[in-house]
Chains A and B, each alone.
Chain A
Amino acid sequence: MSVFETFLNWKVFVDTLPLLLKGLWITIGLGVSAIVLGAAGGLLLALLRLYAPAPVRFLAISYINVFRAIPLLVLLIVIYYALPFVGLRLNSFTSATMALSLVSAAYSAEILRAGIEGVPRGQSEAARALGLSRIRQMTDVILPQAIKLVIPPLTSNAINVMKDTSLASVVAMPDLLKQATQAEALAANPTPLISAALIYIVLLLPFVSLVGVAEIKLARRTR
C-alpha cells in the first residue's frame, strides 16, 4: 500500500465524508453557541468587574480568575461525569456548551474590560456631560468603540473556542473529531482523521488570517 492509499484514500474519503459533514455541523453548532453565550457572559462579567459595588466586583474577579485557571478538559469531565452524582445529568451537547462558554466568558470578560478601558476618558466625559443615562453612555458611546478595539483578540478567542470543541469528543459528543475516529475504526484506514484535520484548518484559517490583517491595521492606526 502506498502512502497515498493509506492516508488519502479517495474511496474511504468519499465513503466517510457524509459522516464527517454531520460531525462538522455539530462542531459548528457547539462552537457558535459557546461563542455567543461566552461573549454575552463575558460582557456582563466585564461590566460587573468595572462598575459593580465591591462585593459583586470581587465575585466577578474570582469567577474570571478561577475559570481561566481550570483546564477546559477537566471542567468538561467534571460537568459530564461528576454532576450526575448530585442529580444533575446533562447530555453531552449541553455539557460541552456549558464548559466551553463558562471558560470563554472569563477570557472574553478580560478582553472586553481592556477594550472598555482603552476608550479615551473624554468619551465618557462627553457622554455624561450630555446627560446620557449610564446605560446609554455604555450602549451608544463606550461599547461600540470598545468592541471595535478588541475585535482581533475576540476573534482569536472565538477561534480557540471553535478548536476546543474537539475536546467534546471525550464526552461522546458526535462532533467532527468523534465522527472521524469512528470512521477510521470502521474503515480501518486513517484517511477520515486526515480529512477531519483538513476540515478544521479550512474552517478556521480564514479567521486566523483575518485577525492578522486586523492587528496590522490597528497597529498602523494607533501609531
Chain B
Amino acid sequence: MAPIIEIQAVHKSYGAFKALNAIDLNVEEGEIVVVIGPSGSGKSTLIRCVNQLEAHESGTIRVHGLDAGRAQDLTRIRTEASMVFQNFNLFPHMSVLRNVALAPVRVRGLTWAEANERARKLLIRVGLAGQIDKYPNQLSGGQQQRVGIARALAMEPKVLLFDEPTSALDPEMVGEVLDVIQQLARTGVTMVIVTHEMGFARRVANRIVFMDAGRIVEVGPPNAIFDAPRDPRLQTFLKSILST
C-alpha cells in the first residue's frame, strides 16, 4: 500500500533562507511520526506544506494519493489532513459546539443536526462535556486546544497534523492536551506531530524525525534517536534540551 503522505525532494526558501532543503519523507497509514529539532529548523514549515498553508517551491507532496501542488486537489487534501495549531485558532465568535460542527457542514455536507451530534460526541471524548455551549474565550488554554483537536477530528481525516500543539500553553495545562493526543494515538489514526515535548515524543512516536537547518538529519525509532543518536547535531540538540 502506498504511504499516506509522500514527500519527495521538497524545497522551500524565504529569500536567501532555505527553510526546507531536499526533504524526503514518507508516512505510512496508522503511523505516528514526531518531528523534532531546534527553532527555525523547518519543522513547522514542513507540516504546513502538507496542507499547503505554505506552498513548496519544488518537489512533490502527496496526501492519500492527491497532489498538494494541484489547486483542484487542495480542498480534498485539507479535508483528509486536519491541523491542530499552536495558537488554537478557534473561531472566537462561535460557540465551542459550532466551532467543531462548522466544517463538517460546510465541507462534508452534513446537516447541522448530524454535525452537532458528531461534535457533541467528540467534545465529550476530549473531556469537554460541560463546555459545549461556551465561547472559546471562556475556556482555559488547555481546554481551547482540546476543542481544536475535536474540530480537527470532526472532519474524520485520514491524517492529523499537530503544529506544536502545547507550545502556547501554561505548563500545568500541557499534560491534559498530551493525554488527549496519546489516547488518539491508540485509535490507529495517522499523526504527524511537531513538538518540543521530548518525553511525550518518546512515549507516542513510532518514528522520530530530527530536522536541522531545513534538512532531515536523522530518522529512527524513539529509542535509537534518544539513546543512541548518531549525528553530532542531534547529539548537541538532545544535550541542550536535557540540560534545561
A positions within 8 Å CB-CB of B: 120, 122-123, 125-126, 128-133, 136, 140-141, 144-145, 148
Interface residues of B in 67-121 (CB under 8 A from A): 75-76, 78-79, 82-83, 85, 87, 89-93, 102-103, 106-107
Provided the pairs A136-B106, A140-B102 are in contact, do residues A131 and B89 lie with their beta carbons within 8 angstroms?
no
A130: chain B residues at CB < 8 Å are 78, 82, 102-103, 106-107, 151, 155
**Complex partner residue of B78 from A122, A123, A131, A144, CB under 8 angstroms:** A131
B93: chain A residues at CB < 8 Å are 144-145, 148
A123 to B51 CA separation, bound complex (whole angstroms): 15
B242: chain A residues at CB < 8 Å are none
Closest-CB distance, B218 to chain A (whole angstroms): 29
Other than A129-B82, A131-B103, give 17 A-B pairs with Cβ distance below 8 A.
A120-B89, A122-B87, A123-B89, A125-B85, A126-B89, A128-B53, A130-B78, A130-B106, A131-B75, A131-B78, A131-B79, A131-B107, A133-B106, A136-B106, A140-B102, A140-B106, A145-B91
**Complex partner residue of A132 from B87, B90, B107, CB under 8 angstroms:** B107
The contact sample of 10 A-B pairs, CB cut-off 8 A, is A122-B85, A123-B89, A129-B53, A130-B82, A130-B102, A130-B106, A130-B107, A133-B75, A140-B91, A145-B91
A114 to B91 CA separation, bound complex (whole angstroms): 19
Query: Are the CB atoms of A131 and B155 closer together than 8 Å?
Result: yes
A120: chain B residues at CB < 8 Å are 89
Closest chain B residue to A137, Cβ basis: B106
Closest-CB distance, A43 to chain B (whole angstroms): 18
Query: Are the CB atoms of A141 and B107 closer together than 8 Å?
Result: no
A133 to B82 CA separation, bound complex (whole angstroms): 15
Query: Are the CB atoms of B92 and A125 closer together than 8 Å?
Result: no
A148: chain B residues at CB < 8 Å are 93
Provided the pairs A122-B85, A141-B91, A145-B93 are in contact, do residues A128 and B106 lie with their beta carbons within 8 angstroms?
no
A131 to B154 CA separation, bound complex (whole angstroms): 12
Closest chain A residue to B77, Cβ basis: A131
Interface residues of B toward A: which range?
A: 20 to 34
Query: Are the CB atoms of A132 and B89 closer together than 8 Å?
Result: no
Query: Are the CB atoms of B106 and A129 closer together than 8 Å?
Result: no
A125: chain B residues at CB < 8 Å are 53, 85, 89
B79: chain A residues at CB < 8 Å are 131
Query: Are the CB atoms of A129 and B51 closer together than 8 Å?
Result: yes
Closest chain B residue to A130, Cβ basis: B103
Closest-CB distance, B139 to chain A (whole angstroms): 16
Closest chain A residue to B87, Cβ basis: A122
Closest chain B residue to A123, Cβ basis: B89
Closest chain A residue to B91, Cβ basis: A141
Closest-CB distance, A59 to chain B (whole angstroms): 25
Closest-CB distance, A218 to chain B (whole angstroms): 14
A122 to B78 CA separation, bound complex (whole angstroms): 16
Q: Mark B40-64, 1 if CB is under 8 A from A, else 0.
A: 0000000000010100000000000
Closest-CB distance, B167 to chain A (whole angstroms): 14
Closest chain B residue to A132, Cβ basis: B106
Closest chain B residue to A147, Cβ basis: B93
Query: Are the CB atoms of A128 and B78 closer together than 8 Å?
Result: yes
A136 to B87 CA separation, bound complex (whole angstroms): 22
Query: Are the CB atoms of B103 and A122 closer together than 8 Å?
Result: no
A120 to B90 CA separation, bound complex (whole angstroms): 11
A208 to B93 CA separation, bound complex (whole angstroms): 26
A131 to B87 CA separation, bound complex (whole angstroms): 19
A122: chain B residues at CB < 8 Å are 85, 87, 89
A132 to B75 CA separation, bound complex (whole angstroms): 8
Closest-CB distance, B93 to chain A (whole angstroms): 5
Closest-CB distance, A219 to chain B (whole angstroms): 17
B151: chain A residues at CB < 8 Å are 130
B87: chain A residues at CB < 8 Å are 122
Query: Are the CB atoms of B78 and A129 closer together than 8 Å?
Result: yes
Closest chain A residue to B80, Cβ basis: A131
Closest-CB distance, B95 to chain A (whole angstroms): 13
Closest-CB distance, B150 to chain A (whole angstroms): 12
Query: Are the CB atoms of A145 and B92 closer together than 8 Å?
Result: yes
Interface residues of B in 128-176 (CB under 8 A from A): 151, 155
A130 to B51 CA separation, bound complex (whole angstroms): 10
Q: Which of A120, A126, A129, A133 has the most CB of B within 10 A?
A: A129
Closest chain A residue to B90, Cβ basis: A126
